[in-house]
Amino acid sequence: MKLVQRLLVAPAALGLLAPVAAGVAGSANASELNLDGVGDYSSSREQVTSISQFSDVYPTDWAYQALSNLIERYGCVAGYPDGTYRGGRAMTRFEAAALLNACLDRITEVTDELKRLMKEFEKELAILRGRVDGLEARVGELEATQFSTTTTLEGQASFVIGANSFGGDAREVVTIVDDDGGVIRIERGDKRSDRAAEEFGATTFSYDVQLALTTSFTGKDALITILRAGNFADSSFGGAGPSSLSTLEVAFQEDAGLDVVGIDRLMYTFPMGDNWTVWLGGRIGQEDMLPIWPTAYASDITSTVLDVTTLPGAVGAYNKNLGAGAGLTWESGGFAVHANYVSANADNGNPNEGGIATDGAEGTGTVQIGYQGEQWAIAAIYSYLSKGTLIPHGTSFLQESLEFFDAQGTNAFGLSAYWQPADSGWVPSISVGWGINSHSYDGGTPDGAVTESQSWSVGLEWDDVFIKGNAFGMAVGQPTFATALEGDDITAKDGNYVWEWWYKFQVTDNITVTPALFYLSRPLGQFTTGESFNQLGGLVRTTFAF
Q: How confident is the model at residue 120 (pLDDT cuts 50, 70, 90)?
A: confident
Are residues 370 and 234 part of one domain?
Answer: yes
pLDDT for res 69: 82
Is 133 a member of any domain? no
pLDDT for res 186: 56
Determine which of 15-24, 85-94, 201-210, 406-415 has the lowest per-residue pLDDT on average. 15-24
| Mean pLDDT of the region 130-135 | 92
Q: Where would I find the H helices in 379-483?
A: 396-404
Buried b (16+ CB within 10 A) or exposed e, 311-334: bbbbbbbbbbbbbbbbbebbbeee
DSSP secondary structure letters along 172-241: EEEEEE-TTS-EEEEEEEEEHHHHHHHHH-S-EEEEEEEEEEEE-SSSS-EEEEEEEEE--TTSGGGT-S
Q: How confident is the model at residue 488 (pLDDT cuts 50, 70, 90)?
A: confident
Cβ proximity of 254 and 262 under 8 Å: yes
Is 136 a member of any domain? no
3-state SS, residue 392? coil
Is 326 a member of any domain? yes
Are residues 445 and 326 part of one domain?
Answer: yes
Are residues 483 and 420 part of one domain?
Answer: yes
Q: What is the DSSP letter of 106?
A: H
Q: How confident is the model at residue 184 (pLDDT cuts 50, 70, 90)?
A: low
- Of 80, 102, 122, the one marking the end of a domain is 122
For residues 42 and 420, the model is more confident at: 420
pLDDT for res 74: 74
d(C-alpha 103, C-alpha 89), whole Å = 20
| Mean pLDDT of the region 61-71 | 83
For residues 466 and 147, the model is more confident at: 466
| Mean pLDDT of the region 254-279 | 95
The residue among 184, 260, 185 whose CA lies nearest residue 228 is 260
Are residues 534 and 462 part of one domain?
Answer: yes
Are residues 178 and 285 part of one domain?
Answer: yes
d(C-alpha 341, C-alpha 412), whole Å = 14
Proportion of the chain above pLDDT 70, given as a percent:
88
Q: How confident is the model at residue 182 (pLDDT cuts 50, 70, 90)?
A: low
| Mean pLDDT of the region 311-325 | 97
- Of 101, 122, 143, the one marking the end of a domain is 122
Are residues 296 and 420 part of one domain?
Answer: yes
Reported residue count of the chain is: 546
* Greatest mean pLDDT among 44-48, 132-136, 291-295: 291-295
Determine which of 30-39, 53-62, 186-195, 228-237 has the lowest per-residue pLDDT on average. 30-39
* Tens-place pLDDT, residues 409-459: 999 999 999 999 998 888 999 999 999 999 999 888 999 999 999 999 999
What backbone phi and psi angles, to 5 degrees, belong to 505?
-95, 120
pLDDT above 80 (res 180): no
Helix (H) or strand (E) holding 302: none
Are residues 20 and 169 part of one domain?
Answer: no
pLDDT for res 172: 82
Cβ proximity of 307 and 314 under 8 Å: no
What backbone phi and psi angles, to 5 degrees, belong to 68?
-60, -40
pLDDT above 50 (res 471): yes
Are residues 380 and 301 part of one domain?
Answer: yes
**CATH code, 227:** 2.40.160.10
Domain that holds residue 533: 151-545
Residue 32 CB: number of other CB atoms within 10 A?
A: 11
pLDDT for res 181: 60
Q: How confident is the model at residue 531 (pLDDT cuts 50, 70, 90)?
A: very high
- Say which amino acid occupies 444: G
| Mean pLDDT of the region 479-502 | 93
* Tens-place pLDDT, residues 382-411: 999 999 889 999 999 999 999 999 998 999
What's the number of domains the chain is made of? 2
Proportion of the chain above pLDDT 90, given as a percent:
61
Are residues 389 and 496 part of one domain?
Answer: yes
d(C-alpha 336, C-alpha 278), whole Å = 13
Cβ proximity of 514 and 303 under 8 Å: yes
| Mean pLDDT of the region 267-295 | 97
Residue 36 CB: number of other CB atoms within 10 A?
A: 11
pLDDT above 50 (res 32): no
* Tens-place pLDDT, residues 239-257: 998 999 999 999 999 988 8
pLDDT for res 439: 96
Are residues 117 and 254 part of one domain?
Answer: no
Is 376 a member of any domain? yes
The residue among 418, 392, 382, 410 whose CA lies nearest residue 293 is 418
Are residues 287 and 197 part of one domain?
Answer: yes
| Helix 93-120 vs helix 3-14: crossing angle, to nearest 10 | 140
3-state SS, residue 33? coil
Q: How confident is the model at residue 486 (pLDDT cuts 50, 70, 90)?
A: very high
- Say which amino acid occupies 52: S
Cβ proximity of 475 and 497 under 8 Å: no
Pairing mode, if any, of strands 183-191 and 204-215? unpaired
Under 8 Å CB-to-CB from 381, ≥6 apart: which residues?
314, 317, 318, 366, 367, 368, 369, 412, 413, 414, 415, 416
Are residues 177 and 74 part of one domain?
Answer: no
Is 225 a member of any domain? yes
Is 194 a member of any domain? yes
To the nearest whole number, what is the mean pLDDT of the chain?
Answer: 87
Under 8 Å CB-to-CB from 254, ≥6 apart: which residues?
228, 229, 230, 260, 261, 262
Is 16 a member of any domain? yes
Is 79 a member of any domain? yes
